[in-house]
Chain A
Amino acid sequence: MGENGAGKTTLAKQLNGLLKPTLGRVTVDGDDTTKKSVAQLSRKVGIVFQNPDHLLFSETVREEVGFALKNFGFEPGVVVKQVERTLEALDLAHYADTSPFLLSGGERKRVALAAVLAWEPDYLILDEPTIGQDYQQKERLRNFILQLNSQGKAVVMVTHDVEFVAECNPKVVLMSKGEIVAQGQADEVLSDDGLIEKASLVKPQMAKLFSQLSEFGFPRDVVDVHRAKMLLGEKLSEVRVRVAQSS
């Protein structure tokens, strides 16, 4: 996470070899990225770029999703099966023979995601996946990411959408001006005034709320609505009981 220009996408591109380090080393599963090609590294590290229009070129969604599989040399039979599976998983099966260009913005984003998930990379990097999405679309995305993660895939999200991250509560790496300024759980990092300031972000609403309620003994590292409700609920019930007792 970080503001625009902090270096998030630059770092992401180091992970599949699109960019090579000028100092230091990047390894993926032990392999030095300077010793492997982008195609080789991409087998394990899949990047879903922000704008789907940078990827789409095929006549049908099916071909689009199968493109990478063909590049990686999968058998035709396997390609067909993987494409079917991925289309099902992303609710795109009914669009299989449609031109990707006829789909809406949100649907094209799903096709782009499908195109990368098709080869089931171990590490999935999503570059700004929430931009321009409405709340429902973000909900669906969040559930999907959590599902992927529970299947054992590593998911890296490059984003500045603090509320979305607050809902997922993942590990957060904060960047600013090309450096990593903090690493930790989302609720710790995003509720820290100093770090937020350094990374030029804003605190999630819950964190803002609780930082102003510390006089009542609440912890500061609250970013999730449900945890907030629980904590407030307890205290408010206590107050209610106390008020009832004293009257």
Chain B
Amino acid sequence: MAGTQGEVIAAHGLGFQYAGSTSKALEDVNIVIRQGEFVLLTGPSGCGKTTLCRCLNGLIPNFHPGEMSGELLVDGVSVAAETTSELSRKVGYVFQNPENQLFALTVEKDVAFGPENLGLTREEIRDRVDWAMDAAGTVALKDLAPYELSGGQQQRVALAGVLAMKPSVIVLDEPTSFLDPRTAEEVMAAVDTLRRENGITVIVVEHRLDLVGRYAERIVVMDHGRIVADGKVEDVLDSEFDRLSGLGIGLPKVSVLWSLLKRDGLVSERLPTHVESAVKMLSERLRN
């Protein structure tokens, strides 16, 4: 059920100003995201990343009032024409704080919450819950209460709850902020696996480019409400390195290293974005 040519998200001149605010949180945002893409959305604090995400599932303008301008289509339908409840079937949202998005008394009930709201039959709900819990790796947790879970487990449960809605897009807003590095990597790997196995489009908002950069094919950089860079991760990091540094974005250390070496003329290849490619390129050079 995507729009034209597999476009699952299309924004044209999208703008937004929060009620009571004097400046625009989003200005002239134009972006097209296709089904199955893995997009890394980044930018300094306050650049509008979360605002853009909220527009995708209707939290803006229904939960966060304000003035919206321009056009935003999800699965070919304008968001203005749908309620948050309707949009929740298409766009799932995983929030930053693991615990504040779990409301039921047990994991199983929490995962069932979304489908229950959809008015499905009990068998359908059962199927979806079982599938979602399995896909997110939370079957063993099903009778536990939210406060008994670790942060990583909570995020997986939130993911399961979102999956059970069978959305075509999942937005994750800094999902690993509160997690330790190993758990963060596990969660990101799980998200990527889910995407590849189910064809879900994934948008992750994250400051730590090295964490997500290895899974995301595409990076979108925002600043002051506008999109300032959009393209393949390697391309953008390579061509916009200095500008991104200037914006205060935390670039992967291997990329920083490479740019330092490049400045001294010691290397000339494109910036690596993760350790593996850097190792390969360096080894080749050093073996000569």
Give the B-binding residues of A (Cβ under 8 A): 3-5, 104-106, 131-139, 160-163, 166, 200-202, 204-206, 208-209, 212-213, 216, 225-226, 228-229, 232-233, 235-237, 239-240, 243
Which residues of the other chain, A, contact B257 by a CB distance below 8 angstroms? 206, 209, 225, 228-229, 232
Residues in B lying within 8 Å of A, measured CB to CB: 44-46, 96, 150-152, 174, 177-183, 185, 207-208, 210, 248-250, 252-254, 256-257, 260-261, 264, 266-267, 275, 278-279, 282-283, 285-286, 288
The 7 closest A-B pairs by CB, nearest first: A135-B250, A136-B248, A205-B253, A160-B180, A202-B181, A236-B266, A229-B260
The one of B152, B185, B210, B282 in contact with A205, judged by C-beta atoms closer than 8 angstroms, is B210
Residue of A3, A226, A237 with highest tally of chain B CB at under 10 A: A3
> Is the beta-carbon distance between A225 and B286 smaller than 8 angstroms?
no
Q: What does DSSP make chain A's interface, helix, strand, loop or mixed?
A: helix
CA distance A163 to B257 in the complex (A): 14
Further contacts, 8 of them, CB under 8 A, given A3-B182, A212-B275: A3-B180, A132-B174, A133-B207, A204-B253, A205-B275, A206-B257, A225-B260, A237-B266
CA A204 to CA B207, docked complex, whole Å: 16
Question: Which single residue of chain B is at the shortest CB-CB distance from A230?
Answer: B260
Report yes or no: B252 in contact with A205, Cβ–Cβ below 8 A. Answer: yes
CB–CB A212/B279 < 8 A: yes
Q: Are B267 and A236 in contact (CB under 8 A)?
A: yes
With CB as the reference atom, state the residue of chain B lying closest to A212. Answer: B279
- Report A-chain residues with C-beta under 8 Å of the C-beta of B283: 213, 216
CB neighbours (8 Å) of B185 from chain A are 202
Chain A residues positioned under 8 Å from B150 (CB to CB) = 4-5
Cβ contacts under 8 Å, B180 to chain A: 3-4, 160, 200-201
Q: How far is the CB of A206 from chain B (nearest CB, A)?
A: 6
Which chain A residues lie closer than 8 Å to B174 at the CB level? 132
Highest count of chain A CB atoms <10 Å: which of B151, B180, B183, B261: B180
Task: Give the residues in chain A near B207, CB-CB below 8 Å.
Answer: 133-135
Q: CA–CA, A163 to B210, complex, Å?
A: 10
Please, which residues of chain A bring their CB within 8 A of the CB of B267?
Answer: 236
Chain B residues with Cβ under 8 A from A216's Cβ?
283, 286
Residues of B within 8 A of A225 (CB): 253, 256-257, 260
Contacts of A213 in B (CB 8 A): 279, 282-283, 286
Contact of B248 among A135, A166, A206, A235 (CB under 8 A): A135
